[in-house]
């Protein structure tokens, strides 16, 4: 058996290295911490996310080469967008989160991670966000005029459809 192809990284070292990287970008408003089963989570402003993702992908010491998942959640006051990244070199995941108000615009990160193209379309369609800087911002699953189905304010059934 040969040596492992990756270098395992301690969580505190990861937090420190990501903090150094983000401080070098001049991003002032971010939080980084371990959040239970999610692991290490970076919370930042939506306007800084593209810069953060680009820096994490292009870092030579700590590259996050893969976007594993991109999804959103309605947390009542806003839409929380979550990016799960993976570093193959260190065999570790990192979560980046940002919040967008309802009816806001989402700027695509597909130019950084091509795996984001389809999940972004689904995210914007299901939560009622407008999609910016995307080569094909059309609806993916539904037709025009339908409500954003994954928003908690969208009624699942009308009163007439509910049985006593």
Per-residue pLDDT tens for 87-123?
A: 998 899 999 999 999 889 999 999 999 999 999 999 9
Mean of the per-residue pLDDT values for the chain?
Answer: 87
Report residue 65's pLDDT band, with 50, 70 and 90 as the boundaries: very high
3-state SS class at 155:
coil
Q: What is the model's pTM?
A: 0.87
Least confident of 25-39, 64-78, 141-155: 141-155
Identify the pLDDT of residue 7: 59
Identify the pLDDT of residue 1: 46
3-state SS class at 76:
coil
Tell me: pLDDT of 163 over 50.
Answer: yes
Measured CA to CA, the distance from residue 59 to residue 20 in angstroms comes to 11
Identify the pLDDT of residue 8: 66
The CATH number of 11-154 is 3.30.460.80
Q: What percent of the chain has pLDDT over 90?
A: 57
Domain extent listing, the chain: 11-154
Distances 92 to 19, 49, 112, 158, 161 between C-alpha atoms, Å: 16, 19, 19, 45, 47
Per-residue pLDDT tens for 119-146?
A: 999 998 888 888 999 888 887 777 777 7
Q: Is the dihedral of CA 106, 108, 109, 110 positive or negative?
A: positive
């Amino acid at each position: 058996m040969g040596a492992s192809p990756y270098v395992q990284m301690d969580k505190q070292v990861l937090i420190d290295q990501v903090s150094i990287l983000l401080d070098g970008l001049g991003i002032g408003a971010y939080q980084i911490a371990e959040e239970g089963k999610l692991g290490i989570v970076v919370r930042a402003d939506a306007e800084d996310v593209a810069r953060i993702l680009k820096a994490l992908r292009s870092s030579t010491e700590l590259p996050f080469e893969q976007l594993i998942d991109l999804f959103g959640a309605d947390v009542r006051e806003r839409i929380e967008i979550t990016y799960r990244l993976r570093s193959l070199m260190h065999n570790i995941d990192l979560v980046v989160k940002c919040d967008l108000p309802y009816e806001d615009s989402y700027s695509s990160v597909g130019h950084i991670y091509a795996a984001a193209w389809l999940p972004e379309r689904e995210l914007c369609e299901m939560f009622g966000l407008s999609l910016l800087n995307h080569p094909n911002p059309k609806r993916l699953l539904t037709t025009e005029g339908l409500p954003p189905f994954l928003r908690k304010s969208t009624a699942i059934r009308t009163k007439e459809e509910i049985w006593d």
